[in-house]
Structure 1
Amino acid sequence: MTQESVPVGRRADTAGDRADARIHTAPQPLRATRPTSTMISWGAVGLGYSLIAGGFARLTIPAELATLLPGAALVWYALRPTTAHFPAPAPLERRSTAPWIVIAVAFGIWELYAAARGSTHAHPTLSILLGPLIDPPPARAAGYAVWLLAGVWVVRR
Structure 2
Amino acid sequence: MTQESVPVGRRAETAGDRASTRLHTAPAPLRAAHPTSTMISWAAMGLGYSLIAGGFARLTIPAELATLLPGAALVWYALRPTTEHYPAPAPFARHSTVAWIVIGAAFAVWELYAAARGSTHAHPTLSILMGPLIDPPPARAAGYVVWLLTGVWVVRR
TM-score, length-scaled by structure 2: 0.82
Higher helix proportion (structure 1 or 2): 2
Could you tell me which residue of structure 1 aligns to residue 43 of structure 2?
43
Deviation at 1:101, TM superposition (A): 1.2
Could you tell me which residue of structure 2 aligns to residue 140 of structure 1?
140
Could you tell me which residue of structure 1 aligns to residue 97 of structure 2?
97
What secondary structure, in the 3-state scheme, does the structure 2 residue paired with 1:31 have?
A: coil
TM-score, length-scaled by structure 1: 0.82
1:19-38 matches, cutoff 5 A: 27-33=25-31, 34-38=34-38
Partners of 2:36 and 2:27 lie apart in 1 by 17
Partners of 2:94 and 2:109 lie apart in 1 by 22
Could you tell me which residue of structure 2 aligns to residue 122 of structure 1?
122
Q: Across the two proteins, how many residue pairs are aligned to each other? A: 135
Give the share of equivalent positions with the same residue, in percent.
80
Q: Please identify, of 90-99 and 29-38, the stretch whose mean Cα deviation from structure 2 is larger.
A: 29-38
Partners of 1:29 and 1:40 lie apart in 2 by 18
Q: Please identify, of 141-150 and 25-34, the stretch whose mean Cα deviation from structure 2 is larger.
A: 25-34
Partners of 2:94 and 2:155 lie apart in 1 by 25
Deviation at 1:28, TM superposition (A): 2.4
List gaps (5 residues or longer) in structure 2. 1-12, 15-22
Q: Please identify, of 29-38 and 50-59, the stretch whose mean Cα deviation from structure 2 is larger.
A: 29-38
Partners of 1:37 and 1:66 lie apart in 2 by 25
Partners of 2:131 and 2:69 lie apart in 1 by 23
Q: Please identify, of 94-103 and 84-93, the stretch whose mean Cα deviation from structure 2 is larger.
A: 94-103
| Distance change >3 Å, CA 31–CA 98, structure 1 → 2 | same
Q: Which consecutive segments of 4 or more residues in structure 1 shift more than 3 A?
A: none
What secondary structure, in the 3-state scheme, does the structure 2 residue paired with 1:131 have?
A: helix
